[in-house]
Amino acid sequence: MNANKTDKIKAIMCILLAAFGFSLMTFFVRISGDLPTMQKAFFRNAFAALIAFIPLMKSKEKFHIKKGCFGDIAFRCLFGTSGLICNFYAIDKLDIADANMLNKLSPFFAIILSIFILKEVPTLIDILATVIAFIGALFIIRPGGDVSVIPALIGLYGGFGAGTAYVFVRRLGGKGERTPIIVMCFSLFSCIVTFPFLIFNFHAMTPKQWLFMILAGLSASLGQFSITTAYKYAPAKEISVFDYTQVIFAALLGMIFLNETPIPLSIVGYIIIIGTAFVRWWLNIRKDSLTEN
């Protein structure tokens, strides 16, 4: 087996591990009970910041941010934090598979935002894939004009925030900024934003809730560092489709432990969005293969 294939297998294994880690995070956030969304977001990011702090302390550059990266980090923090808070709210109000699927619209939002932020021109395949994916999202959101649609729309913004943050992460990667710095800044910013809510609306946590929040933070860190490692072994266009297994993991956790069974319309939405992501991935791989030959 050549080195390229070995690296691709490593990348796929890492992204599957990341998907499992993020699905566990949503599961632990959900079972931590009726804690305020801001409190959950604070502790999730506090543990992630601590884990990112360790490699930075050992590094030669410590906490130095590269010149020209501060603005991109600020926008990554802003959209990442708002997206995370909305995603946590959706996790509490929706089936965790639905919340995960809405969050997984982030790559399609990234296609749109890349036009304005990275000046990238999307292909016809990307445009069609984005339109079809958002049609799939309608089956999950099920707009009916009543308040029940609000959590789904907030979850949709969670996907927008994540997608926008991902575009700024890509730009930071192009400028050579370090992953632990990006994770650390995002986590600290999220803690600063959510801390005032923690002071004025803190709910005492039971030992079990403390355990679940610690596990949520550890699972999130597993996801963040695994997905970063995955993209070091292979480009996003070759492996990103495997990240959608997070929805499958989340659905299984919901069915086994929470007695959640996705309704047929949601399943239709999953099939449309994941199917679209798969076809887009396959066409891009095929195009690259023909170009090389």
- How many Cβ atoms sit within 10 Å of the Cβ of residue 16? 18
Confidence band of 175 (pLDDT split at 50, 70, 90) = confident
Question: What angle in degrees, to the nearest 10, is found between the helix axes of 150-174 and 106-117?
Answer: 50
Average pLDDT over residues 153-179: 88
Confidence band of 288 (pLDDT split at 50, 70, 90) = confident
Residue closest to 152 by CA, chosen among 133, 135, 139, 166: 139
pLDDT digits (tens, 9 = 90+) for 208-260: 999 999 999 889 888 877 877 777 777 666 777 788 888 889 999 999 999 99
Q: State the alpha helices, DSSP H only, in 175-206.
A: 179-200
| Stated pTM of the model | 0.85
pLDDT digits (tens, 9 = 90+) for 76-116: 999 999 999 999 999 999 889 999 999 989 888 888 888 99
DSSP tag of 285: H
pLDDT above 70 (res 145): no
pLDDT for the residue 27: 94
* Angle at 15 (CA atoms; ends 9, 21), nearest 5 degrees: 140
pLDDT for the residue 236: 66
pLDDT for the residue 16: 92
Choose the most confident range, by mean pLDDT, from 29-33, 62-66, 225-229, 287-291.
29-33
pLDDT above 90 (res 172): no
pLDDT digits (tens, 9 = 90+) for 38-48: 999 998 888 88
Q: Which of 172-176, 190-194, 212-216, 269-273 is least confident?
A: 172-176
Exposed (0-12), middle (13-18) or buried (19+): which is 146, by Cβ within 10 Å? exposed
- How many Cβ atoms sit within 10 Å of the Cβ of residue 175? 11
Confidence band of 3 (pLDDT split at 50, 70, 90) = low
Confidence band of 6 (pLDDT split at 50, 70, 90) = confident
* Average pLDDT over the chain, rounded to an integer: 87
pLDDT for the residue 184: 87
Cα–Cα distances in angstroms (integers) from residue 270 to residues 112, 141, 264, 278, in the given order? 21, 12, 10, 12
